[in-house]
């Protein structure tokens, strides 16, 4: 205990010295310090944001907009990378030679090409190889794809949509209740009713009933193509698509290896037992191997989620206005380097700790409990 107290005291002493030395050097050079700039007008616009932002608004709101952009690309990237990585990881264990070879080539290629280079490649594809807005691709009704990004229809918000949201929430609760019932039946009898189709039906019916009770709002803001532009609807920029695709495809290659290793860690006797019970390959994977592999998969999967969130800071290289980009602009205008960097560090630390806490909770839930 004494040695630990001494080491902790030395760490605090070094930190206090560095802090005071920094403040003294800044005072000598006439560099202002403090977070008072947070309330001042930012004086710059943000090209893409979930929350509307005007140049007359404060630096504080600009940081929040940058954080929301980072959060948006990180959440979507985690979901998409998990789905793609799981499919590729399972494909690496396929008995089909073509699927197994293509999955292996995907992993070997994407893991060995730097992420920054992949972002540049995707940015080149989306901004140089796609047609201009006047000749935008029209793959689906109301959907346009060009150098300007992706334009798509989106619902016009109405008060009745709250009932739809409530119905969807009730449907999610119903799906959870159905999953508990299926698990209980499987534990009690060894046979379980179908889960996927009834769960989907519960979610759809509850959402549809909520939509009806809310007055069935159906207004859509649909993009329309003019001679020189596409107006209306929702849109995402090539920069956002570049970051999302780059992070998803790159991280999925690592997640695929995590999933493959987790499945292969399950003893081979489990496979023999599944075959002796007459389980199909799909049921064996879903009911026997993946539940046991989760205890191996979840910890390294958490690392990949953290890496994806932190790698989103590379978005500044392609002009996507994430947290780091907003921080750099604010730093250049105010000169408050330490303060801006501290805000970025605090935001990424908070996101990482929240992600770790959530995954640790899920890890405890997925742990195999011996009886």
In angstroms, the CA 3 to CA 138 distance is: 68
Which alpha helices (H) appear in 92-220, and where do they start and end? 97-111, 115-124, 161-189, 196-213
Please report the pLDDT score of residue 250 as a whole number: 95
| CA-wise closest residue to 328 among 339, 319, 310, 340 | 340
In angstroms, the CA 362 to CA 100 distance is: 30
Q: Which residues pair with 150 in a beta bridge?
A: 145, 236
| 105-144 burial: b if 16+ Cβ within 10 Å, else e | ebbeebeeeebeebbeebbeebbeebeebeebeeeeebbb
Please report the pLDDT score of residue 220 as a whole number: 76
Structure tokens at 152: 């798509």
Contact 324, 344 (CB under 8 A): yes
Please report the pLDDT score of residue 371 as a whole number: 57
| 332 CB neighbour count, 10 Å cutoff | 11
Please report the pLDDT score of residue 369 as a whole number: 65
- Give pLDDT tens digits along the chain (371 positions): 999 999 999 999 999 999 888 878 877 877 777 788 888 888 888 878 888 888 888 888 999 999 999 999 999 999 999 999 999 999 998 888 999 999 999 999 999 999 999 999 999 988 888 888 888 888 888 888 888 888 888 777 778 788 888 989 999 999 999 888 888 887 787 777 787 888 889 999 998 888 888 888 877 778 877 777 777 777 888 999 999 999 999 999 999 999 999 988 888 888 888 888 888 888 888 888 888 888 889 999 999 999 999 999 999 899 898 899 999 998 888 888 888 898 999 999 999 999 999 999 888 887 766 65
In angstroms, the CA 20 to CA 184 distance is: 61
Structure tokens at 164: 């739809």
Strands 137-140 and 230-231: unpaired
């Amino acid at each position: 205990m004494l040695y630990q107290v001494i080491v902790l005291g030395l760490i605090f002493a070094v930190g206090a010295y560095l802090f005071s030395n920094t403040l003294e050097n800044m005072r000598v050079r006439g560099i202002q310090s403090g977070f008072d700039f947070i309330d001042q007008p930012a004086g710059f616009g943000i090209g893409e944001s979930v929350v509307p932002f005007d140049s007359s608004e404060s630096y504080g709101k600009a940081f929040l907009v940058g954080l929301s952009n980072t959060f948006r690309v990180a959440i979507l990237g985690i979901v998409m990378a998990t789905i793609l990585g799981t499919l590729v990881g399972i494909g690496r264990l396929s008995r089909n030679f073509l699927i197994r070879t293509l999955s292996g080539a995907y992993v070997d290629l994407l893991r060995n090409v730097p992420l920054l280079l992949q972002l540049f490649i995707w940015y080149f594809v989306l901004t140089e190889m796609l047609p201009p807005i006047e000749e935008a691709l029209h793959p689906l009704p109301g959907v346009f794809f060009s150098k300007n990004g992706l334009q798509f229809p989106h619902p016009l918000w109405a008060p009745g949509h709250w009932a739809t949201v409530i119905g969807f929430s009730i449907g999610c609760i119903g799906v959870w209740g159905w999953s508990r019932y299926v698990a209980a039946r499987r534990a009690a009898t060894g046979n379980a009713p179908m889960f996927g189709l009834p769960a989907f039906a519960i979610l759809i019916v509850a959402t549809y009933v909520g939509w009806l009770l809310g007055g069935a709002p159906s207004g859509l803001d649909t993009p329309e193509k003019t001679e020189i532009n596409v107006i209306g609807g929702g849109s995402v920029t090539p920069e956002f698509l570049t970051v999302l695709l780059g992070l998803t495809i790159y991280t999925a290659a690592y997640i695929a290896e995590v999933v493959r290793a987790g499945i292969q860690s399950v003893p081979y006797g489990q496979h023999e037992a599944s075959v002796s019970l007459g389980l199909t390959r799909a049921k064996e994977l879903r009911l026997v191997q993946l539940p046991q592999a989760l205890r191996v998969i979840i910890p390294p999967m958490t690392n990949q989620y953290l890496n994806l969130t932190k790698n989103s800071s590379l978005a500044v290289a392609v002009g996507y206005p994430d947290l780091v980009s907003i921080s750099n602009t604010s730093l250049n205008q105010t000169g408050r380097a330490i303060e801006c960097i501290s805000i970025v560090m605090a935001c990424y630390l908070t996101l990482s700790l929240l992600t770790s806490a959530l995954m640790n909770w899920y890890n405890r839930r997925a742990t195999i409990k011996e009886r």
